[in-house]
Each structure stands twice: as structure tokens, then as C-alpha cells.
């Protein structure tokens, strides 16, 4: 039996601008099981980042329900949402979002500091995961001493190190040349084969094809496309 880790029912997100209300997500229904590699494909302005912010517990729905690991995600105090984020979500961004003054290894250790892990264990786990993404030789380098692809590998290691329920990636190849982008997608596919659950947001249909499932979002409406695997 597949283990359901995410469920959205009739999820609506509206933004109020003055006295205008804009409905950005228009009743999203989505289910994700452990081990899925889901691509969310959609054009600019369709609501991808809005959906990603809700999946990542950076924002909450206006109406409808969102369950993550069985827990109802609603308008909770920021400190509660940040605990859920730290435990459940590994974020990967287009622009890597590494801290420039810290080594690759220290960047990867950061989420473990927030999670209260001891220095010794942080050191071991960050080294292990950096090896896993092919950066054993670069752990002491700062981000500006790394290529774009290497920086994204550090960001992926940082996302993996807490063993989150979902790896959540927003345009992870958007800042990379095509060949480097392919290498990062190969790494995602390996992680998927190891059983990781990945949600990847992209506007690029070729990139989306790396997923095992594709959903399309157009003007705030989501529909499931073809299954690749
Ligand atoms: N904080 C906000 N307040 C008001 N409107 C917003 C807010 N954030 C997003 N929107 C609106 O919601 C719609 C969807 O935006 P969103 O950022 O989710 O699109 P996107 O699919 O991520 O686009 P892109 O591919 O350009 O990043 C847009 O019309 C945008 O103007
Ligand atoms: Mg966006």
C-alpha cells in the first residue's frame, strides 16, 4: 500500500489587493504518496510559487484543507509552521540560496543546528551527504569557489541532511546551463530511485519529464497529465 504523505482538498488561495480579491489557486485537489517524483508544470503567473509556498508551509490556504504527514496545516503561529518546515521539507531553489561566508559543509550543517543536532553528528552527517552528491573534495570551499552545478549540489545536500519527508524544488535547473541541468536531474532521478519523495516546480516541459508524475497548473487550476513511470 502506498503511503499518502500529502493531501489537498478543494484548496483555494486568494490574495486581497485593496478591495479586489484575486483567486490564485482555484480549488486544488492533489495527493502525493511516499516515493513519488512529482513535476508541477505551468506557465508564468499560473500559481506555481503560490502552491509551492503552501506545500512548503511558508503560507497557508485561504479555504480547503492541506494535510502533510497526516497533520492539518492551517493558520498556525509562525514558530509552529517553522518547526513543521524544518522536519518535513527540504527546500531547493533556483538561486541555490547558500550563505556566501560559510563553507559547503557549514551550509549543509545549518538545518541541523536548527534541529538541535550535536556538532559531532552534524559534522558526520554533512560530510556523508556531501560525499553522496559528489562533493567530497569541495567541503571546505565557499560557494563562490564552486561552479553553479556544484553550488546546487550543496543546496541539495542541505535539503537532504535532515531527511525531510519531501524534497521541494523550485526551478532547480533554472540558473544552470543545459548540461549541468541534466546532471542535476540525473541526481534527482537517483534520489527518487533510492525512495526519496520529490516535488519539482518548473515552467519547462522537458525538465518536467524527469518526474514520475506530471501535474499541470494553468490559471490556478491543476490537472494530472501523463504518467511516465
Ligand atoms: N503576495 C501576493 N499578493 C498578491 N498577489 C499575488 C501574491 N503572490 C502572487 N500573487 C499573484 O498570484 C498569481 C500567481 O503567482 P505565482 O507567483 O504563484 O505564479 P508562478 O506560476 O510562480 O509564476 P512564475 O513562473 O512567473 O514564477 C499572479 O497573478 C500573482 O500576481
Ligand atoms: Mg514562481
**CA 62–ligand 1 middle distance (angstroms):** 15
SS3 at position 121:
helix
17 CA: nearest ligand 1 atom: 4
Residue 68: its pLDDT value, please? 97
pLDDT tens for the chain, 229 residues: list them. Answer: 789 999 999 999 999 989 999 999 999 999 999 999 999 999 999 999 999 999 999 999 999 999 999 999 999 999 999 999 999 999 999 999 999 999 999 999 999 998 899 999 999 999 999 999 999 999 999 999 999 999 999 999 999 999 999 999 999 999 999 999 999 999 999 999 999 999 999 999 999 999 999 999 999 999 986 544 4
Closest residue by Cα to atom 24, ligand 1, is 44
Starting at the edge strand found earlier in the chain, the sheet holding 221-227 runs 89-92, 166-170, 198-202, 37-41, 213-218, 221-227
- Report pLDDT digits (tens) over 36-61: 999 999 999 999 999 999 999 999 99
Nearest to 149 by CA among 182, 111, 198, 194: 182
∠ CA 27-74-202, nearest 5°, is 55
Q: Which ligand is nearest to the CA of 25?
A: 1
Residue 114: its pLDDT value, please? 87
Query: Is any atom of ligand 1 closer than 6 Å to the C-beta of 149?
Result: no
Query: What are the backbone angles phi and psi of residue 109, rounded to the nearest 5°?
Result: -75, -20
Residue 226: its pLDDT value, please? 52
Residue 115: its pLDDT value, please? 87
Closest residue by Cα to atom 4, ligand 1, is 15
Going by C-beta distance under 8 Å and a sequence separation of 6 or more, which residues neighbour residue 108?
126, 129, 130, 154, 157, 158, 161
Query: Is any atom of ligand 1 closer than 6 Å to the C-beta of 24?
Result: yes
Residue 130: its pLDDT value, please? 97
Closest residue by Cα to atom 29, ligand 1, is 45
Closest residue by Cα to atom 5, ligand 1, is 15
Amino acid at each position: 500500500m502506498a503511503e499518502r504523505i500529502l493531501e489537498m482538498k478543494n484548496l483555494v488561495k486568494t490574495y486581497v489587493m485593496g478591495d479586489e480579491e484575486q483567486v490564485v489557486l482555484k480549488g486544488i485537489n492533489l495527493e502525493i504518496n511516499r516515493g513519488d517524483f512529482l513535476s508541477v508544470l505551468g506557465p508564468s503567473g499560473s500559481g506555481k510559487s503560490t502552491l509551492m509556498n503552501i506545500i512548503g508551509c511558508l503560507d497557508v490556504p485561504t479555504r480547503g484543507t492541506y494535510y502533510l504527514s497526516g497533520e492539518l496545516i492551517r493558520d498556525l503561529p509562525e514558530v509552529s509552521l517553522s518547526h513543521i518546515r524544518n522536519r518535513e521539507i527540504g527546500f531547493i531553489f533556483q538561486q541555490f540560496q547558500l550563505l556566501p561566508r560559510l563553507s559547503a559543509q557549514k551550509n549543509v550543517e545549518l538545518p541541523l543546528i536548527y534541529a538541535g543536532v550535536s556538532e559531532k553528528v552534524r559534522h558526520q552527517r554533512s560530510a556523508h551527504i556531501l560525499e553522496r552528491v559528489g562533493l567530497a573534495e569541495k567541503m571546505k570551499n565557499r560557494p563562490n569557489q564552486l561552479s553553479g552545478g556544484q553550488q546546487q549540489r550543496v543546496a541539495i545536500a542541505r535539503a537532504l541532511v535532515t531527511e525531510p519527508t519531501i524534497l521541494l524544488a523550485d526551478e532547480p535547473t533554472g540558473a544552470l546551463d543545459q548540461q549541468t541541468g541534466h546532471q542535476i536531474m540525473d541526481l534527482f532521478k537517483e534520489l527518487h530511485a533510492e525512495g526519496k519523495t520529490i516535488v519539482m516546480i518548473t515552467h519547462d516541459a522537458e525538465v518536467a519529464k524527469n518526474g514520475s508524475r506530471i501535474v499541470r497548473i494553468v490559471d490556478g487550476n491543476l490537472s494530472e497529465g501523463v504518467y511516465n513511470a
